Amino acid sequence: MNGKKTAYPLSDLKVLDFSRVLAGPFAGRMLSDLGADVIKVEPPEGDVTRFWGKEIANVQGYYHQQNIGKRNICIDLRAKGSSDLIKRLVQVADIVIENYRPEVMSRLGLGYQNLNETNPAIIMLSISGFGRDGPESHRPAYAPVIHAEAGLIHRNWTRNGGTLHDLPISLADTNAALHGLVATLAAIHMRNKTGSGQHIDIAMIDATAATDDQLQYDLEDSFVTAPLPNEVWETGFGHVLISSDFRLFFRLLVDHSGLTDPSTSGMELEEKISSRRKAVGDLLRTITEKKEFVSIMTEINVAWGEVRDPKTLAKQKTIVHRNAIIDTDDRNGGMRPTTQSPYRFSNAKSGVGEKTSHRGEDYETVLNEWLGLNSDEVTELFDQKIVLHDPDWIAK
């Protein structure tokens, strides 16, 4: 049974999460953090992210981050009778999440039309790279593919130089997941008014374009009208990003921090700019104490950020204050770090679940609580090789 009480906004919702890797699992993780009973339906071969990251008690770090809080049942969707079991689960579910290629669920007899016939109120969230019905709908896509197709890799290269390379974050996946989450909650709201379910088609390329605040400059070839880019500067205590137009930053330092303008009236523009940038760089490198730098930035009211090694993020002041990274059960008698739910309510709760389940670990409780199956009925599903579990996991 879902242990999260009514203080969690989504504690009355049941979710079947068929998704793998990131775009779907991240949406499911957020639903779990908000209180939904999320059941990850994992295939016999397992989610590929079970091979990624630090392994503790047969749970890898990447999988842990995206699936903590979900219960797990392993079902072979190719086995005879598996679609009947899934449809029984769908009858009592509110939401289904999947991010297979568009034809896969239908081929298994589990497409939206099939599930809608089983439960007209079901909401199905489908996330794919290029949408369900376009000219590229059958292309396989991970985040880097969308980063390339959506222009992010090219833009990063033209603005920053160097070689063409992917972004160090799966932005296309997480954007699609969050847009999928918004659409799912909107569909829940609409269902409350109409009683009818919904099929949501989220394309990663759409979601990336919709959340790209720099795209308008590219579409209209107007980047020259944009603010000057933020810059990273070296100080005596490390690198910092200054979020300000250099021209304003320079003038503020001259007016309030004792910086002398080295330029002269006879200088060409490029020489003037170069001399001013050197003066600012020289000044910043003389600042060896972070508190002195903070005092200057506070005085001139300029936003800045320390260029932090992400390995140290758990020590960042606000992260610590808001418990944004917490220790969770590592399934081995110890603890491991995990990102906390980002949602903060005035009169409700959200929060990461207690554990990350092994493949198939929760089959008994899920089948009993959702479908009322007894041990003999569960055993029969095992004998038919419809339901499986990892024989190596140890419940703790």
| 8 A C-beta contact, residue 134 and residue 13 | no
| Calpha distance 375→385 (Å, rounded) | 15
Q: Known catalytic residue: 47?
A: no
Question: What one-character-per-residue DSSP string does 290-338 give?
Answer: HHHHHHHHHHHT-EEEE---GGGGGGSHHHHHTT-EEEEE-SSSSEEEE
How many CB atoms sit inside 10 A of residue 118's CB? 18
Element (H, E) at 59: strand 59-60
Listed in sequence order, the DSSP H helices in the chain are 23-33, 61-67, 82-92, 104-107, 112-118, 143-149, 152-160, 171-194, 204-210, 215-219, 246-256, 269-285, 290-300, 317-321, 363-371, 375-383
If you count them, how many residues does the chain have? 396
Element (H, E) at 243: strand 238-243
Element (H, E) at 201: strand 198-203
Task: Please pick, among 173, 206, 329, 330, the residue that the annotation labels catalytic.
Answer: 173
| 8 A C-beta contact, residue 20 and residue 28 | no
Amino acid at 368: N
150-181: b (≥16 Cβ within 10 Å) or e: bbbbebbeeeeeeeeebeeebbbbbbbbbbbb
Amino acid at 102: P
Question: What one-character-per-residue DSSP string does 70-125 give?
Answer: -EEEEE-TTSTTHHHHHHHHHHH-SEEEE-S-TTHHHHTT-SHHHHHHH-TT-EEE
Amino acid at 154: H
Fill in the DSSP letter of residue 168: S
Phi-psi region of 238 (alpha: psi -120 to 50; beta: other; left: phi over 0): left
List the catalytic residues: 173
